[in-house]
Amino acid sequence: MSSKMRFVLGITGASGIPIGVRVAEKLADEGKLFTVVSDAAKKVMEYETDDKEDTMRKLGEYSEDVYGEDEIEAPIASGSFDTRGMVIAPCSMNTLGSLAHGLSSNLVERAGDVCIKERRKLVLVPRETPLGQIHLENMHKLSEAGVDIVPPMLGFYFGPDTIDDLVDYVTGKVLERFGIKNKMYRKWNCVLDE
């Protein structure tokens, strides 16, 4: 598999861990995945998953390597490690703000900063509501720098029945940012054709 099919995933300490895990599963189907999990994300896992250790095990199965936030020497911290890009899902406002201001205090931020400076695809799934002015300004700044912002907003037109359906909807939207066709949810034109 070529280096162009390498992906990086960051999971940070915002609500939405199931989205990050599902994105990991689907990106692993497309190529080699390298994952970094922040300390705060591990704490959120205790609330949002049935078993934190099982969730970390799954991430390990989907990934070539799983790094902690302090492993700044990891290959994903370097621009010479060629990837298709990175997803941060969920993305905390702390991480988003750091990226908007060029800060790299941990491996998630450094790997994201590498994508920005190398002009690689960076997709953020920010999880906060309501959004304050500073959040919106940071998102605007990143969007102007070429970062894709994919908030996990609910969609109902495709008739979701479960939370998993909504997780798949957001995951499908993330995959589409990389040009990955998927059937994670029924597309709008499919609903209209019925």
Domains in the chain: ranges and CATH? 3-193 (3.40.50.1950)
**What's the confidence (pLDDT) of residue 137?**
98
Cβ of 185: how many Cβ atoms within 10 Å? 21
Element (H, E) at 7: strand 6-11
Work out the pLDDT band at 194, boundaries 50, 70, 90: low
Nearest of 55, 33, 34 to residue 44 by alpha carbon: 55
Under DSSP, the state recorded for 13 is S
Element (H, E) at 35: strand 32-37
Quick check: 150 and 170 in contact, CB under 8 A? yes
Work out the pLDDT band at 4, boundaries 50, 70, 90: low
Q: What's this model's pTM, rounded to 2 decimal places?
A: 0.94
156 vs 138: CA distance, rounded Å: 28
**What's the confidence (pLDDT) of residue 193?**
62
| Close Cβ partners of 18 (under 8 Å, ≥ 6 residues apart) | 48, 49, 163, 167
* Region of poorest pLDDT, from 120-129, 139-148, 181-190: 181-190
Mean pLDDT over 137-163 rounds to 96
- The mean pLDDT value of the chain amounts to 95
Q: What percent of the chain has pLDDT over 90?
A: 91
Sheet holding 85-91, edge to edge: 65-68, 32-37, 6-11, 85-91, 121-126, 148-149
Mean pLDDT over 118-124 rounds to 98
**What's the confidence (pLDDT) of residue 2?**
45
**What's the confidence (pLDDT) of residue 1?**
38
**What's the confidence (pLDDT) of residue 89?**
98
- Mutual orientation of helices 39-48 and 52-62 as an angle, nearest 10°? 120
Q: What percent of the chain has pLDDT over 70?
A: 95
Note the pLDDT tens digit of each residue in 9-42. 999 999 999 999 999 999 999 999 999 999 999 9
**What's the confidence (pLDDT) of residue 191?**
60
**What's the confidence (pLDDT) of residue 192?**
61
20 vs 14: CA distance, rounded Å: 10
Nearest of 171, 161, 151 to residue 21 by alpha carbon: 171
**What's the confidence (pLDDT) of residue 186?**
86
89 vs 178: CA distance, rounded Å: 14
**What's the confidence (pLDDT) of residue 187?**
84
Phi, psi for 94 (deg, rounded to 5): -65, -45
**What's the confidence (pLDDT) of residue 133?**
98
